[in-house]
Amino acid sequence: MELKFHIMGGDFSNAGSASSEIKRVLKQINVPSDIIKSIVVALYEAEVNIVAHAYEGDMVVDVQPDRLIAVLSDKGPGIPDIELAMQEGYSTASPKVREMGFGAGMGLPNIQKNTDILNISSTPGEGTKVSFTVFFKPKS
Amino acid sequence: MKVKEIVEKLGLQIYAGHQGLEKEISGGYCADLLSDVMGNSKQGMVWITLQNHKNVIAVASLKDLSAVILVNGTKPHVDTAEQAQAENIPILGTSAGAFETAGKLWHLLNYI
């Protein structure tokens, strides 16, 4: 099953709606609740990253029998130094975005903590692609 | 303890989400950074914050939180209240600050 969502940069009033829809679908197909909780954190952070940093982007979520694969690709400023962006507390968010409680530099670390496989590729000036996989197996 | 009991015992105002007042509370989390709440709050917790925009309800809903308490007399934005009503997530309010509110809630949940 493949689900696609278009996400507009700056559209904070709808941030989280794509993640919410996927959460609903995962509940319907009886994915274990602790796995849903992890997926929701990762999806929301990736969705908000597009809203906060990019001009626009797409979230494509492929739900397979044993795993979820999410690919979020955006048109935006890109990330010049991914290693730096992965550091907890590092953020390039605007003051306005920070006032809302975003831009704490916890988004990408939250995605990493809640996924089994994470890949980030980016071309500065063009955009960023975040892909992650979460397996539907109980946590050890 | 249910949300309606803390409303009564802490004298909280109810701004929206009356349908959720029967929800059980598992604990509390106090933060104004949304990613902090996404990463560290747990299902059933009450979220104490001064953030009052619509994204608060998105986070509370995604994390299955029981209620939101706005501190320092902060009121929810109109679209925040509408979303809370639609998702049955109580938005509560107090003139007290986060420290005092968290302290009282912690005491209620642990000693009453």
| Per-residue pLDDT at A36 exceeds 80 | yes
Rounded to the nearest integer, the mean pLDDT of chain A is 94
CA distance B70 to A62: 37
> Mean of the pLDDT values across residues A115-123?
97
CATH of the domain at B42: 3.40.1390.20
Q: How confident is the model over B16-28, as a mean pLDDT?
A: 96
User: What local confidence, expressed as pLDDT, does residue B51 receive?
Assistant: 97
Number of domains observed in the structure of chain B: 1
In this predicted model, what pLDDT tens digit does every residue of B59-102 receive, in sequence order? Answer: 999 999 999 999 999 999 999 999 999 999 999 999 999 999 99
DSSP string, A2-68: EEEEEEETT-GGGTTHHHHHHHHHHHHTT--HHHHHHHHHHHHHHHHHHHHH-SEEEEEEEE-SSEE
* First-to-final CA distance of chain A: 27
Instruction: Tell whether A47 is within 8 A of chain B (Cβ).
Output: no
Q: Which one of A13, A23, A40 has the shortest CB-CB distance to B79?
A: A13
Q: Please report the pLDDT score of residue A140 as a whole number.
A: 57
Place of tokens 């409680």: A101
Q: What gap in Å lies between CA A101 and CA A70, rounded to an integer?
A: 25
**Mean pLDDT value across chain B:** 96
**Å between A101 CA and nearest CA of chain B:** 4
Q: What is the pLDDT of residues A45-86, one digit of tens each?
A: 999 999 999 999 999 999 999 999 999 999 999 999 999 999
- Please answer whether residues B27 and B47 qualify as being in contact, where contact means their C-beta atoms are separated by less than 8 angstroms: no
Single out the residue of B34, B48, B84 nearest to residue A100, CA to CA. B34
Percent of chain A's residues with pLDDT above 90: 94
pLDDT reading at A138 higher than 90: no
Phi-psi region of A89 (alpha: psi -120 to 50; beta: other; left: phi over 0): left
The number of residues in chain B equals 112
Q: How far is B103 from chain A (nearest CA, A)?
A: 22
State the sign of the Cα–Cα–Cα–Cα dihedral B10, B16, B20, B22.
positive
Strand ordering across the sheet containing A117-123: A2-8, A56-63, A67-75, A127-135, A117-123
The tally of CA atoms less than 13 A away on the side-chain side of residue A60 is: 8
Which residue range is the domain that position B28 belongs to? 3-111
- Where along chain A do its domains lie? 2-135
What does DSSP say about strands B27-30 and B45-49: parallel, antiparallel, or unpaired?
parallel
Inter-residue contact B79 to B54 (CB < 8 Å): yes
pLDDT at B18 over 90: yes
| Residue A36 near chain B (CB below 8 Å) | no
ipTM: 0.90
CATH number assigned to the domain with residue range A2-135, chosen from the 4 options 1.10.1840.10, 3.30.565.10, 3.40.1710.10, 1.10.443.10: 3.30.565.10
Partner B contacted by A110 (CB < 8 A): yes
Portion of chain B with pLDDT greater than 70, in percent = 99
Could you tell me if B32 lies within 8 Å of chain A, comparing CB atoms?
A: yes
Whether residue B46 has pLDDT greater than 90 = yes
